[in-house]
Amino acid sequence: MSRLQVAIVGYGLAGSVFHAPLIAADPRMRVSTVVTASAERARQARAAYPGVRVLADVEELFTRPTEIDLVVIATPNAAHAPLAARALAAGLPVVVDKPFTVTVAEAEDLIERAERADLALSVFQNRRWDGDFRTVRALVDGGRLGTVARFESRFERWRPVPKGSWRELGGSAEGAGILFDLGPHLIDQALTLFGPVRSVYCELDARRAGISSDDDAFVALTHTCGVRSHLWMSAVTPRLGPRFRVLGSTAGYVCHGLDPQEDELRAGRRPDDGKPWGAIASERWGTLGTEPDPTPVPSLPGDYPAFYAAMADALLDGAPVPVDPRDALAGLSVLSAALRSAESGAVVCP
C-alpha cells in the first residue's frame, strides 16, 4: 500500500517538532512536502526527511493537488483560516493546528466548506493525548472521585524576559497572547471532560514590559452539568502550581509537572524509535484520595501518535477524524466569551 502523502505548511516549532515527527512515525504516512520561506528551516526539513519536496511559496503546493493526500496547517494563527480554506478549495483534506481559527465565524465557514466538499477536516488538539490528562479522564469516567465539583488546570511558565515573538507583540486579531496560545488546550480538555458551559469569566494581563499581548490569564467556566473549571495560563509564574487538581465528592486528584512528550519531541526523539513513548516516571505520578493519606496513582502514558493514527484511519477507512472540528468551534466560542469577559469585567455567556 502506498503511503499517504502529507504536506506541512509552516515549519517552525509546530510543524517541525509536533507534526512532522508524528506523521513520519505512522507507517501509512509520509512527510512528502514542506512549505517554508526560511532557508534554514528548508535545510532542516531536507536533513530530517530525505527526499522531501520543499516549497518557498504555498501557492506552488496547490498547482498539483493530486500529489497530496493531506495538508497540515502549522503557520501563525491568523493564517490558519485562509490557508485551510485554500486547501479545501483544492479538494484536499486538512489538519489545522490549534487554535483552529482566530474567530468563530472563520471556524463556522471552514466547517461548512469541508462538509459541502465532503472532505476530512480536523484540529490538532494533541493535549487530549497527554498522559496526565488521559489519567484524569480515566479517573473521572471511572467514578474514582465521586461527583466532580471543581476542575483546576494550569499551564504555567517562568519566562520573565520576553522573546519578542509575534505571540507577545501581536494583537487579538492575530490570535496573539497566552490565552490563544494555551487557552485552546485547557478549554478543550475541560469541555472534553465536562461538556458545554453556561458562563465564562476571564482575567487577562500583560505583566512584562515591552509586550502588547496578554501573558497572564485566568478563565473560570461553569459547565451546564454544574462542574466549575478554573484554568490558569501564564508566562510569569515564579512558583508553579499543580498541573491538575480535581475535587470530587469522595476523593481528589493532584498531579504536578507537564507531560513529557513535548520535551521528547524537542530533543529529537521520534515515537517510532523502538523505545517506550510518553511514559511518566513514578516519582511524578499524581495522588488520589483524601487528607491525610492520598495514594499514588500510576499515570497512563502519553500518546500523541494516536492523533495521526486516527487521521490515517479517517482518510483510508472512513473512520471519524480524531478531533471533530465542531469541538474546536465550541472551544473558540468559549475563547471569544473569555475576551468579552476580560474587556467588560463581567461574567458572560458563550
Domain edges within the chain: 4-124, 127-304+333-344
Measured in degrees and rounded to the nearest 5, phi and psi for residue 327 equal -65, -45
- Tally helices (H) and strands (E) across the chain: 12, 14
What pLDDT does 166 receive? 82
Alpha helix positions (H), the chain: 13, 20-25, 39-48, 58-61, 80-89, 104-117, 131-141, 166-169, 178-194, 261-266, 305-317, 325-344
**What is the spatial distance between Cα 233 and Cα 182, in angstroms, rounded to a whole number?**
6
Q: Give the other-Cβ count within 10 Å of 106's Cβ.
A: 19
Q: How far apart are CA 269 and CA 272, in angstroms?
A: 9
Q: Report the sign of the C-alpha dihedral through residues 171, 165, 267, 94, in that order.
A: positive
Instruction: Report how far residue 124's alpha carbon sits from residue 96's, in angstroms, rounded to the nearest whole number.
Output: 6
Per-residue pLDDT, 87 = 97
DSSP reduced 3-state for 88: helix
Which superfamily does 4-124 belong to? NAD(P)-binding Rossmann-like Domain (3.40.50.720)
* Rounded CA separation 77/65 (Å): 23
DSSP 157: -
String of b and e for 177-198 (b: at least 16 CB within 10 Å)? Answer: bbbbbbbbbbbbbbbbbbeebe
* pLDDT at position 170: 84
Supply the pLDDT for residue 1: 57
In the three-class reduction of DSSP (H, G, I as helix; E, B as strand; rest coil), residue 28 is classed as coil
Which one, of 141, 135, 138, 145, lies nearest residue 290 by Cα? 145
Could you say which DSSP state residue 236 is in?
Answer: B
Count CA atoms closer than 13 A to 293's CA, side-chain side: 0
Question: Shortest CA distance to 16 belongs to which of 40, 43, 44, 37?
Answer: 44
User: Over its length of 350 residues, how does the chain's per-residue pLDDT go in tens digits?
Assistant: 589 999 999 999 999 999 999 999 999 999 999 999 999 999 999 999 999 999 999 999 999 899 999 999 999 999 999 999 999 999 999 999 999 999 999 999 999 999 999 999 999 999 999 999 999 999 999 999 999 999 999 999 999 999 888 888 888 788 889 999 999 999 999 999 999 999 999 999 999 998 989 999 999 999 999 999 999 999 999 999 999 999 999 999 999 999 999 999 999 999 999 899 999 999 999 999 999 999 999 999 999 999 999 999 999 999 999 999 999 999 999 999 999 999 999 999 99
What is the chain's length?
350
d(Cα 199, Cα 176) in Å, to the nearest integer?
A: 23
For residue 4 the three cell numbers come to 499517504
Architecture field, domain 127-304+333-344: 2-Layer Sandwich (3.30)
- As a whole number of angstroms, the distance between CA 247 and CA 194 comes to 13
